Chains A and B, each alone.
Chain A
Amino acid sequence: MTTGQQPRTYPFGEADRLRLHPTYAELRRSEPVTRVRLPHGGDGWLATRYTDVRTVLSDPRFSRAATVGADVPRTTPLVSRDTNILTMDPPDHTRLRKLVAKAFTARRTEMLRPRAEKIVGDLLDAVEAQGPPVDLIEALALPLPITLICEMLGVPVEDRVDFRRWSDKALALTAFAPEEIVAAVEDLRDYIAGLVAQRREHPTDDVLGTLVQARDEGDRLTEAELVNFGVTLLVAGHETTANQIGNFVYTLLTEPEHLAALRTTPDLVPAAVEELLRIVPLGGAAGFARIATEDVEIGGVTVPAGDAVLVSMPSANRDDAVFTHPELIDFRRETNPHIAFGHGVHHCVGAQLARMELQVALSALLQRFPALELAAPVEEIVFKKGRLVRGLASLPVRW
């Protein structure tokens, strides 16, 4: 059952730019499901191979709901007491997910592409007008996803200074004190509750309006579920994509060969986005533990009922059982079944939106600025620290 060895300390180290710690590759080879000791909540298991990671993410014997209010192994300082879409199992999860799934389908998302192109066009006009050097995080990576998710949800984009500040704290590990994190989540809830109240006075057909209607007319979710859902969609709807836009551009600007390939063949952009999703680890470390609801055999071990399991999606995405030369960037892979958006019922609801935004942002940027380059030496480009997701503090560029 256990190897008898001391659990490994996890995370293996502070996230180092966009590099994945070499221990993952070692574990995939020799110990695909291993014991780890987390900074909070004690010991658990970590799965690193593609097949095992997919199993943990989709097999109903691994529960997210069982982590609510429990002192589970985790990197975040606080015990999660919230029941939100990320901490629910079917059938509750399905009940909530169905309420918004329509707004995020590939078809509906594609209809937003012209709007995304217009937003990016305007942002790049401003970049050109300002002249080099420009920080692409503030100029493009943040405003594109924020504007789009605000328009979809019905959140006033003018409020972004406030909810950005709260959202940044809500996703902190060590960057802010625990009480500051709690207060920020409270602020986000109050903010969304206010928008919900407005919709009761004046109904709207945006996503928040749809959720209010589902609550008031269909009784399909509770008031707390409604507010928490709004918070989750707003935070997850921009933090992830904003950081990845910066991370992808950084990767391209530091890998001239791949940048050149995209410049010569712009049609490669969708495949490049998939490959960058595969290779660029967004999460600093595995999180979102699942609890085994019965004894489960996986990766050569038996995980006893009640134990917590973590999965590394970036590690799964570099499993040589699935990807040839997994450490290399290759925009011409024949198949690319990466699980950057997760797998199973919690597969990112915004995946199609994120893909579209990343494609639009990269295409427009490369087309508008054929000579784009970093405006500082690479070692001076700084990543944020102590957060759930990896992202640049700023990305100075010139052209």
Chain B
Amino acid sequence: MTWRIEVDRTSCVGSGMCTAIAPERFVLVGDRAQAVEAAVEPDDAVLDAAESCPMEAIVVRGENAEVLAPEV
């Protein structure tokens, strides 16, 4: 199973939340976050990062493109 990570770099404020919660999954590039790899094995840290982002700039999608996080 594969999840997909989408980061909206226009709403990202570079808080460093995701890069600190899931350092293997997110990286700051020019003060904005991006996914190290868009397609990842299921990993709760990715969901935590999406749930904790103050801008809700991270969306995690499951196998069928359904939104796993964040809850709206």
The 8 Å CB contact of B48, one of A60, A98, A104, A341, is: A98
| Contact present for A94 and B21 (CB under 8 Å) | yes
Interface 9-mer from A238-246, A281-289, A345-353: A345-353
Instruction: Report the minimal beta-carbon distance from B14 to chain A, rounded to whole angstroms.
Output: 6
Q: Is A306 at the interface (CB under 8 A from chain B)?
A: no
Tally the A-B contacts, defined by beta carbons under 8 Å: 63
| Contact present for B52 and A335 (CB under 8 Å) | no
Q: Give the chain A neighbours of B23 by CB distance below 8 A.
A: 60
What total of chain A residues lie within 8 Å of the partner, measured CB to CB?
26
Chain A contact residues, majority secondary structure: helix
Looking at chain B, what size class is its interface with the partner chain?
10 to 19
Closest to A99 in B: B51
Chain B contact residues, majority secondary structure: loop
Known: A105-B55, A105-B56. A335 touches B31 (CB 8 A): yes
| Contact present for B20 and A344 (CB under 8 Å) | yes
Instruction: Report the minimal beta-carbon distance from B26 to chain A, rounded to whole angstroms.
Output: 11
| Contact present for B20 and A60 (CB under 8 Å) | yes
The 8 Å CB contact of A101, one of B11, B16, B52, is: B52
| Contact present for B16 and A54 (CB under 8 Å) | yes
Q: Mark B6-49, 1 if CB is under 8 A from A, else 0.
A: 00000100111101110100000001000000000000000010
Determine the distance from Cα of A104 to Cα of B56 in the docked complex, in whole angstroms: 11
| Contact present for B31 and A337 (CB under 8 Å) | yes
Determine the distance from Cα of A287 to Cα of B52 in the docked complex, in whole angstroms: 24
Known: A335-B31, A341-B15, A343-B15. A90 touches B51 (CB 8 A): no
Q: Is A58 at the interface (CB under 8 A from chain B)?
A: yes
B interface list, Cβ under 8 A from A: 11, 14-17, 19-21, 23, 31, 48, 51-56, 70-71
12 A-B pairs (CB sep. < 8 Å) = A58-B20, A90-B48, A91-B48, A94-B52, A101-B52, A101-B53, A106-B55, A107-B56, A337-B14, A341-B15, A344-B19, A345-B21
| Given A341-B15, A343-B16, A345-B17, 5 extra CB contacts under 8 A | A57-B20, A94-B21, A98-B48, A98-B51, A344-B20
- Which 8 interchain pairs have the tightest Cβ spacing? A344-B20, A347-B15, A343-B16, A337-B31, A58-B20, A344-B16, A345-B20, A58-B16
A interface list, Cβ under 8 A from B: 54, 57-60, 90-91, 94, 97-98, 101-102, 104-107, 335, 337, 341, 343-345, 347, 349, 351-352
